Structure 1
Amino acid sequence: MEKEDKKMNEAYNRMTAHVDSFESFYAFYEYFLKQVKTEDKEELNKWLLKVLFIQMKKTKEVKHDFDVMVELLENQPEKAFKAKELKDWLKNALMNAKKGATK
């Protein structure tokens, strides 16, 4: 991990700890405004976007449990057909849920 990415990751972790201690966004926002040490909104925006970008890139690399399960099945030739059944089932279940939500 690059040095700058590591610093941003640490900043994200500190911010997360503070976010978790507040019940509402507005309470956190008031706290955040008191902590900000710059008047330069562009600089602040850039910093926040960097932190968000690095965190989103990191979480994108994490596989969903369902994907891990499908991969495990695909890696066992005798059970590979189950992986296809599982994918088809999920696709149908999600499509049916989507149809139900739009009614």
Structure 2
Amino acid sequence: MMSFNYYRANHPSKAEFTAEVNKHHKKVFIYDKGHSKGHRSVTNDAHSVVHRIIRKHPHCAEYQFFYRDSQGRIDEMVIKDGQFDSFKAHGLEFFPK
């Protein structure tokens, strides 16, 4: 089962994004939606992005997180103890379904 959630930024200092939660594969896919509208990018707001997703979906703290940046590159967002830790180059060219 997948769920799609739009996270609207209430301030330009926060990223605006869509997150796709795949419960079957235990993965979260994040798409930046606000960077072109003057909001922070997901890359620059990674700690807050992960916090906002896990606050809404606590079970996702154990999932893998992937993020497609504004150039289309997909990287993994490494999560440790339920918080963003670092980015890891992944080399994917598209999000698997």
Q: TM-score normalized by structure 2?
A: 0.26
Q: TM-score normalized by structure 1?
A: 0.25
Structure number having the greater strand percentage:
2
Structure number having the greater helix percentage:
1
